[in-house]
Structure 1
Amino acid sequence: MDYFTFGIEPRKIWFWASDMAGSITTEDINEIIITDETTLLNYTEPFPVDENSDKIGKNRGPRRTPKRDLGSDITEMTQEILDMISPPLEFHADGSLWRQQVSIEPMTRADVHKLGENLNIRLRARQARSAGICAVRLDLFSQLFDELIRQVTLNCGERGLLLLRIRDELQLTLATHAALFEGSVAFGSKKASQSEEGQDDFNDEIETLNGDIDNIKKDIRNLKFKYQMMEIRAEEIKVAQQKKHKDEIAFLNKTNQQLKDLKSRLEECIQPDSDNEVSGGEEAQLESIIAPKK
């Protein structure tokens, strides 16, 4: 059973193609191969290889030096480093094994200027953000960094290896930050959902407390009204009692004055020879004064 191995960036993606193997068309090849339109990293054109001397393995190490018929004079170490930038693409077509790998051709100054123009064009075409987190800008800059590593590797393999380590560390750092971000988002979402679940209970409790507050305020208003009515009633009772007391005092004062007047008249009317005699009119007047008022 045949398969395709497709590598963009330092990862491999396996395409299962049991039905397509042996009968792959030109359109299928155009969809599989890597062109300048798909990545900023410079690749070679697909070329046939000897399947017997160079078999595909799932756990194989770095790729070996391309065949001499490509006109390449780079060393095996340099080719291995280039294959570490992005693993070669291999596929079967017309009964032969084909390979496409990172290009070994150095770039001229004009090619460098063209690379910068292509980067700007793709940034605008894909509407990459100029600031902040942007997956499009990160993808294009990663492709550009791979191309820079390729160019440096062609001049000095050791510096290319150093840049590869820097790239891997950068990708590991970004992956770590992405994992932390996803974890924090998940934690925040969990806490938010928990707070939302408890929010309903809090809202119900708030409504209950607000209802209790309204009832208490209503009771306070009723008590204030009762207090005012009691004050008015107490004032009325006080006024009535004061009036009653004044009337009683006036009656007693009047009675007292009448008694004093009667006493004076009695003392004036009493003669020495008739100390124990009282006239009939005076006796009636005395009884009327002493008798309780009806």
Structure 2
Amino acid sequence: MNMITSTDSLLKYDNPELVSKNTERKSPKARPLKASSQHPASSTTTGPVPPPPKPKSPSSDAVNQQAEEILNAILPPREWTENNQLWVQRVSSMPCTRTDVIHLQEELDLKLQQRQAKDTGICPVRRQLYTECFDELIRQVTINCAERGVLLLQVRNEIRMTIDAYQTLYESSVAFGMRKALQAKQGQSDMELKITDLENEKRELERQVNELKAKCEAIERRENERRQVEEKKHTEEIQFLKRTNQQLKTQLDAIIAPKK
């Protein structure tokens, strides 16, 4: 991993520091109090009693140390390993000026343009840049007033929690929509398969109907032919019987006629 520089982020960092892996980080100890080598004078000692020592105001180093601790708590340092060496880069504790704020605005606009962030809608690039810008504003405010920095930290955390909630809701909605789409697609596939089966069944039934129609037509044709044959046969028999009857009648008349 390459060394990270402060120009990679809108949040200002100090120069990276090399930290040994075996080095234990110890919290700074309080300065030990030195006991006086002389015992206090007894009450029997004559002379005026010296006034109690006035409490000393905290030194600027202690104030700066406290501000850095608060700043590191709000914006933790970032760490990375390079060539088996641990590097730490802490947030800068340098106060800002009006020029720095103007430069921050210009740098934000430039990065939004360079990284082609979307003006509207969901855009991870725009969200990252504005998050870095807000962290830089928190850093600037914390250096001047730690209480305001802590308050802005609460605002930032609330915004992040809200965005994470919306993101979770969006992801669950997308997952739900995908499940419904898959179910609909599966249902469509099942319906298409069922339609195919019904069409095959319909074709099979139509084939059977055509076969039965052909059989019925063949039977009807055979029956018509048989009926015609039977009718012809009956007609011939009737004609034969009529001729026979006529012949017998003629013979009978011939037999009966001479007797008269």
| TM-score, length-scaled by structure 2 | 0.55
Aligned pair in 2 of structure 1 residues 98, 129: CA closer, same or farther (>3 Å)? closer
Structure 2 unaligned regions, length at least 5: 19-23, 28-58, 81-86
CA deviation map 1:200-259 (0-9, x unaligned): 99999887776655544433332232222223223333333444444455556x459848
Task: Please point out which of 209, 218, 221 is paired with 1:232.
Answer: 221
Structure 1 unaligned regions, length at least 5: 1-14, 16-27, 49-54, 61-66, 92-96, 270-276, 281-294
Q: How does 1:199-210 map to 2 (within 5 A)?
A: none
Q: How does 1:243-254 map to 2 (within 5 A)?
A: 243-248=232-237, 254=242
Aligned to 2:45: none
The 1-side partners of 2:93 and 2:228 are apart by: 116
Task: Please point out which of 111, 130, 139 is paired with 2:100.
Answer: 111
Aligned to 1:169: 158
Aligned to 1:7: none
Aligned pair in 2 of structure 1 residues 38, 223: CA closer, same or farther (>3 Å)? same
Higher relative contact order (CA 8 A, sep 6+): 2
Aligned pair in 2 of structure 1 residues 104, 256: CA closer, same or farther (>3 Å)? farther
Shift of 1:87: 1.5
The 2-side partners of 1:144 and 1:105 are apart by: 16
- In the alignment, residue 102 of structure 2 is paired with which amino acid? H
The 2-side partners of 1:248 and 1:183 are apart by: 93
- In the alignment, residue 228 of structure 2 is paired with which amino acid? V
Q: How does 1:22-61 map to 2 (within 5 A)?
A: 31-32=3-4, 34-35=5-6, 37-44=7-14, 56=25
The 1-side partners of 2:153 and 2:104 are apart by: 20
CA deviation map 1:164-199 (0-9, x unaligned): 12322333344455556379749968x969x98x99
Shift of 1:39: 0.8
| TM-score, length-scaled by structure 1 | 0.50
Q: Report if aligned partners of 1:85, 1:146 keep a CA contact under 8 Å in 2.
A: no
The 1-side partners of 2:138 and 2:237 are apart by: 122
* Identity of matched residues, %: 33
Task: Please point out which of 234, 247, 256 is paired with 1:278.
Answer: 256
Q: How does 1:208-227 map to 2 (within 5 A)?
A: 214-227=203-216
Q: Report if aligned partners of 1:107, 1:151 keep a CA contact under 8 Å in 2.
A: no
Deviates more, 1:172-181 or 1:199-208: 199-208
Shift of 1:143: 0.4
- In the alignment, residue 124 of structure 2 is paired with which amino acid? A
User: Matched residue pairs, number?
Assistant: 214
- In the alignment, residue 38 of structure 1 is paired with which amino acid? D
